[in-house]
Amino acid sequence: MSLSFVFYSLLLKILEITPYKVLFLLGTWLSFTLYVIPNNHKNITLANLRHVFPTKNKKEIGLLLKESLFHSSMAFLESGLVWGNKLLMNKNNFIELVNFQSVERSLESRQGVLLFTPHLGNIEVLINHLGATTNCTVPYTKPKNKSLDKIMKASRNRAGVSMVDTNVSGIKQMLLALKEGNVVAIASDQVPKKGAGLLSKFFNQDCLSMTLLTKLQQKTDCSAHLMYCERKLNGEGFIIHFGNKIDLSEDIQEGVDKMNCEFEKCIMKIPGQYSWEYKKFKNTESRYIY
């Protein structure tokens, strides 16, 4: 057993037993620290906010920056909750569902359901819910730290989801799951490798975007639904929103553009909860450099 595995396991256990409202206080302290001390996390977030919202003034950008740093801090502090504390996750009213019946109606067709989400709120909350209520397959990119990968994969498997790699074998498994009438859930705002994907507008900026959603729907004629997670205020839990059925299987470019448009709509409802620290505009030919 490696030292890093012991460290991560101990840290997650401490976070798991910490009352959730205390985590909110810790999140306030951690985000303030990130705000006042120079760091790459803050720099990337600020660069993205300025790039995406060029008409906002310095004060408005500053408020969004503080909010974003808080919510990204909370996503880290919630690791013990979403990967370990299933009792709290299942507590009445801690998780509120909006329009999940639309997904249930699509599942009745037995043609498979493709759920897509941006990195909004905490996507691990989505994974926990889907694992408990559906037969769900989730593609993921392994983290560089093997100990963290082991802990994360074990937790998601306990939650009831099937994890697959983002390679040819994984795509075949996703296609099979959809053809069998099951669920595939993808955080599809991730930037594909250079040379893959298509350029599309994201908040009116060129962004290399994933084509997998449209291709999966074209090959399986499955239903597709947007979903996203919203963190409630004052440590009261989460709201999981599900959209109505949407067609992404038109022309590939049109499908990718529609996906990004759907992302923009839900992000603008809670812009401070989006993961702006992610290098969303990398791998393009633009002069935008982090």
Average pLDDT over residues 190-203: 90
Is residue 151 domain-resident? yes
- Residue 225: closest CA among 210, 240, 238: 240
Whether the CB-CB separation of 79 and 73 falls below 8 Å is answered with no
Under the banding of pLDDT at 50, 70 and 90, the label for residue 225 is: very high
Is residue 259 domain-resident? yes
* Domain count of the fold of the chain: 1
Is residue 285 domain-resident? no
Average pLDDT over residues 99-123: 96
Q: Is the dihedral of CA 95, 100, 104, 106 positive or negative?
A: negative
Query: How far apart (Å, rounded) are the C-alpha atoms in residues 79 and 41?
Result: 18
pLDDT in tens, 148-182: 888 888 888 888 899 999 899 999 999 999 999 99
The reported pLDDT for the residue numbered 58 is 96
Whether the CB-CB separation of 259 and 269 falls below 8 Å is answered with no
Is residue 258 domain-resident? yes
Which range of residues forms the domain containing residue 25? 3-273
Is residue 229 domain-resident? yes
Is residue 289 domain-resident? no
Among 30-39, 80-89, 138-147, the range scoring the smallest mean pLDDT is 80-89
- Residue 193: closest CA among 215, 162, 167: 167
* pLDDT at 39 > cutoff 80: yes
Is residue 90 domain-resident? yes
The reported pLDDT for the residue numbered 51 is 93
- Residue 248: closest CA among 209, 276, 284, 203: 209
Is residue 279 domain-resident? no
